[in-house]
Structures are given as structure tokens and as C-alpha cells.
Amino acid sequence: MGNVGVLGSISIDNIFSSTGLPAKGERVFGHKLGSFVGGIGCNQARELSRYLHGVYFLGQTGEDENAGFIVRYLARLGVCTDRLRKLASYQTGQTYMFSIEDGKDYFSIVDMGANEAGPDQSFSPSSWLENIDELLVSLEIDGDIARMTMEEAEKRGIRIWLSASPAECCTPEILRLADNLILNLREARMLLGLSGDTLDEIAHSLIAVHPEMENIVVSIGVDGALLRTNKGHVLHAPSYDVGPVIDPVGAGDALAGAFLAAKLNGLSDWQSLCYGTIAGSLAVSVKGAQSSTHDGSTLRKIFEKEFENNERSLI
């Protein structure tokens, strides 16, 4: 098992609960749940570090207090941060997230900060990718940074896993560079043209898109996730019932990280998909996208108890 590079955003996530969505000029009430290290890329890197060594975070921060806090935090978790770009002219990104009606919905206000900084003379995707064997990319970062890094990875024969979020930032060129896709149903409808309402209908639509992709994972919320393999099968893994949703942020990032780590550790398609849905479910059972204390042993025990003998292939 080689090294994994994770390219994406990093931020401080300030999370609030809210009684509802405000209309223009309206005041709604709630309370602050806390401030946590986040960002799509950072969430995914932290999830991978639960199961793998050699996880390198490839991202951009300012040179401020938040950056120092994040670097120390990731280092304690075993994520390699020596390849972070620290940009003096930018602040580290921050997000203000509002969980509505106990996690039934949420919206965010995002200050991208250094995440949106484009390439300059100091940017070197080749140095980012030195000794990297697998690359996980999310798109909450400057588009040219993402594209140029993926192009360099393609030249080097590095396998690329694209977490296509936000879907609005995914260009046809970025999609073409991906060997594998991990996305949610809204993103899959937008980027892949998936149709259907039932699991079977969505699965039959999924089987026909991008046959060149090795794996396509589509998370579908409380209904778990689908995996279209390069063998022409579509597997369905349900979500794991952890009770009430405390904080919906980060479920997809946990799913992506746990699924990829399981695949890289040589687990079967079915077990990898289940590990992803279990991790995604555990992530929403606590405040903060990275706050769950689960590890590989946790996922294995839940899989053996709840999922092992219930493999479901829709196609």
C-alpha cells in the first residue's frame, strides 16, 4: 500500500443550529454547536488517516493562527502536512454552517480564503505528487489548481479518485481526468445525467454511464450508497442506523475516505462500500465532521454484525 495524496479545501467550520431558514430581513434563533477543523479535502484526509499511513494533505492555507492550529491538529492525527502551501496574502478559509431542524437540512456561508488562490510561480504540482501513488481530489479549491494537479498525476500514472463536490466546479476536462468517481445523487444527476427515483431505476441508469471508469460510488443519504464496479455490477449498501442525526456535515467525506481506504487495503467491493456507509452514518452522530472516534476495528465489528452476509447486487 503506497502513499495517498488528498487535494482539496481546508477551513475552520463554525457550526450553528437553527430553527429554520430565514426570509429576507428575518431573524431566526439557534445556538452555536462549536468550531471544528473542516473543509471537504481535510475531512477526507482525516478519514483516510484512521486506516492508512502515508496520507498527504495537498491544500492551501494562510499564514495565520488558524493555519497553525490546523497543522498541529492534523499532525497529531498522522496526516502529513509538509506539502501545504502557506500563502501570506490570504487568510485560512472559514465556513459558517447552519443545521436546520435537528439536521433535516443545512446551508453554509463559505469564505474560501486561501482555498481559492490560483497557481503562481511557487506552485509545483510535481513536488506535491512526489512519491504519491493514489490521488483523491475534491473541488472546493481553485479549478486550475485541481486540473493542473490531476494532469500531472495522469502523466505520472497516479490513479485519480474524484470526489466531484461541489459539482458546479466540475468541468468536462476534470471529469475526463478521473479514473474513479465518488459523488452524491444530486451531483450524479447533474454530472452524469442519472435518472430514476427508485434504487433499481437509479442503478440501471448508473450502469450505462462512463464505462471507462473503474468505480463510481453514488451516496444516496438515508438509503445508503450504490457502487458501479468495472465488472458491470451495481451494489447497494444501506446506511447504518445510529439514531438521531446530530450534525449532517461531513457524511459524504467520511464515506469517501472510508471506502477508498478499504479498497486500498484490499477489501472486497461489498465490504468497502459498507465501510463507507457505516463511516458516513457515524460521522453524523456527533458534532463536527471529524469528531467521531471510529476506526477500522469499529467498522469491521459493525460490518460483521450487520452487513457481512447481506450483500445486495441490484445488477
Find out whether 270 and 226 touch, Cβ atoms under 8 Å: no
Q: Indicate the CATH number for domain 4-307.
A: 3.40.1190.20
Residue 261: per-residue pLDDT: 98
Whether omega for the bond prior to residue 211 falls within 30 degrees of 0, making it cis, is: no
- Indicate the domain borders of the chain: 4-307
- Give me the long-range contacts of 152-156 (CB less than 8 A, separation at least 24): 152/125, 152/126, 152/128, 153/125, 153/129, 153/177, 156/129, 156/132
Residue 133: per-residue pLDDT: 97
Residue 102: per-residue pLDDT: 65
Kindly give the parts of the chain with pLDDT less than 50: none
| C-alpha distance from residue 185 to each of 69, 124, 156, 228 (Å) | 34, 34, 31, 13
Find out whether 202 and 218 touch, Cβ atoms under 8 Å: yes
Q: What is the pTM of this model?
A: 0.92
Residue 1: per-residue pLDDT: 64
Residue 194: per-residue pLDDT: 95
H or E stretch covering 71: helix 65-76
Q: pLDDT tens, 155-184?
A: 999 999 999 999 999 999 999 999 999 999
What percentage of the chain has pLDDT greater than the value 90? 77
Closest to 257 in 3D by CA, of 43, 5, 76, 36: 43
C-alpha grid cell for residue 98?
447552519
Sign of CA dihedral 162, 163, 167, 169: negative
Q: pLDDT tens, 84-120?
A: 999 999 999 998 888 787 666 777 888 999 999 999 9
